[in-house]
Structure 1
């Protein structure tokens, strides 16, 4: 039987926040979950004590459903298995596992066998069917999305194709959703909820660098490009970003253009790095990867994450979970 995203994850509003590595820290994830939607922290390549520190802040910040996003193709099967083990061992049952792209079957089996909710983002019909068969909520990403692209199909077309193939699955539309009207169109195509990324970059709780936020807030969809230049750290995957000097001249030297800090550890940032500029980044921010979807047309000034959730709630399926939401942390 088909269920809404809210019913599936035990949240009030059928809305997920993208687990954007570098941007989506525990503060943003918890704020979104506290507002009644599904927050998600970006796990990216974190392991060991760095990942544990993030998980501690996440679970201390909310007792409501919240996720940890991991990226199978970036870390590989062995490292992904270690990350999943940490999430399952170090977090309570209200924390779900969110995966960007399909993992091996063993990962899905481990997560569902542990009684955790599983969310998988896909960009093709074949991967969507595989994800649903493995018990996942399926996030259907269209090419309108910011960040790395998993397919080549427009959002509503792919949602409709997967709805036809999976009449009972819980499908979540992603890509280019910056307004309630756009969310309504995704629901009409067959989605049971929506995922937002770009809309949360410009929130108070986002860890995006101030210049990144300002650029997204002043940009329109025509200011974005699909390219593969930001490949250091994430090769072989096209991505939608704001146009920069790096996208206009990909033949430049891959020299260091900045510095950043991740969980207390300093790193140099080379030109064409896949890492986003955060509030801990310095250097030539204007040349770095500023992932941005077509939804930037509807994004302007900086707002609290709860305000973003509230703006979409009236058009999205909601669930009455008053008792769950009134529990103390």
Structure 2
């Protein structure tokens, strides 16, 4: 017997939204949570007053389970602990901590001491087993996923390997899930729920730039590439994006190609920046980092986030705890 993702996180359906920095603002996170899934706001490098403003909007926008996503390798251990402390201090217990990549042991202790739930996205079996041992919901990210990649395994292979090694852990599948049918396949591989990123990029409440949304809707799986060119601000990590003039010719000068705004502060956007183009971005959008997974081929239109949740809810488990045999029978049907 093991709990579904819905059961662990207090949701109506076992669906998690990726906390995509820039794209996943509080509007999207709250809309997803209010629809019965786990919304997640991207904390990225926010700290201090900027993070407080975001947390206030998040907790005012929903009274349901919702997450804040933080990225250990981008901010470093000291700043991460500061971010975590601020989230724990300024939010109620229904707000869980979601980490893209493994945090330090001290962070696991910090979150556990506060009685909060932890979600950790991983790309390797080793990290997944470690996160499971710390009681985290483990998001198994396959290389089909859009955005930064944490490993080299395909989604269902990673899910299956983790299920064999940590049979009682709550494992959520991520990567290439653009339809309820694909979600069924992930569940059949052993997942207890799914995490969607690209499908929410095009949601009405997403902060993605309109041209970014249009590009995702018009793309096929073959239009995505794995590269490391968008490294300014996040070096040393491969990422899956839509092919652009920049991925085709990575030897262009790293000059400024646009402007953007984050929590009211203006920034210049250099070519090769890891920042996504948002509704607050201007300039050469078509040259910026258009993170996009294999699921784009199944995404045909912009819809409200609640509609995305409703489409998947019919195939995903709710909060009940069921046996592995019952799960297999359900997914086969």
TM-score range, shorter chain: over 0.9
1:112 shift after superposition: 1.2
Residue-by-residue CA offset, 1:287-308 (whole Å, 9 max, x unaligned): 0001000000111111000000
Equivalent in the alignment of 1:127: 127
Equivalent in the alignment of 1:198: 198
CA distance in 1, matches of 2:307, 2:17: 13
Equivalent in the alignment of 1:181: 181
User: Residue 44 of structure 1: SS of its match in structure 2?
Assistant: coil
Equivalent in the alignment of 2:153: 153
Equivalent in the alignment of 1:245: 245
> Unpaired runs of 5+ in structure 1?
321-329
Equivalent in the alignment of 1:265: 265
1:319 shift after superposition: 2.5
CA distance in 2, matches of 1:3, 1:46: 32
CA distance in 1, matches of 2:245, 2:47: 33
Report if aligned partners of 2:3, 2:319 keep a CA contact under 8 Å in 1. Answer: no
CA distance in 2, matches of 1:313, 1:11: 11
CA distance in 1, matches of 2:20, 2:148: 10
What RMSD in Å do the two structures reach over aligned CA positions? 0.6
Equivalent in the alignment of 2:279: 279
Report if aligned partners of 2:5, 2:319 keep a CA contact under 8 Å in 1. Answer: no
What TM-score, normalized by structure 1, do the two folds share? 0.97
> Unpaired runs of 5+ in structure 2?
321-333
Equivalent in the alignment of 2:330: none
Instruction: Map 1:1-20 onto structure 2 (within 5 A).
Output: 1-20=1-20
CA distance in 1, matches of 2:232, 2:106: 28
Give runs of ≥4 in structure 1 deviating > 3 Å. none
Residue-by-residue CA offset, 1:121-163 (whole Å, 9 max, x unaligned): 0000000001011110000000000000000000000000000
What count of residue pairs does the alignment treat as equivalent?
320
CA distance in 1, matches of 2:117, 2:178: 26
CA distance in 2, matches of 1:269, 1:177: 30
What TM-score, normalized by structure 2, do the two folds share? 0.96
Equivalent in the alignment of 2:57: 57
CA distance in 1, matches of 2:206, 2:149: 21
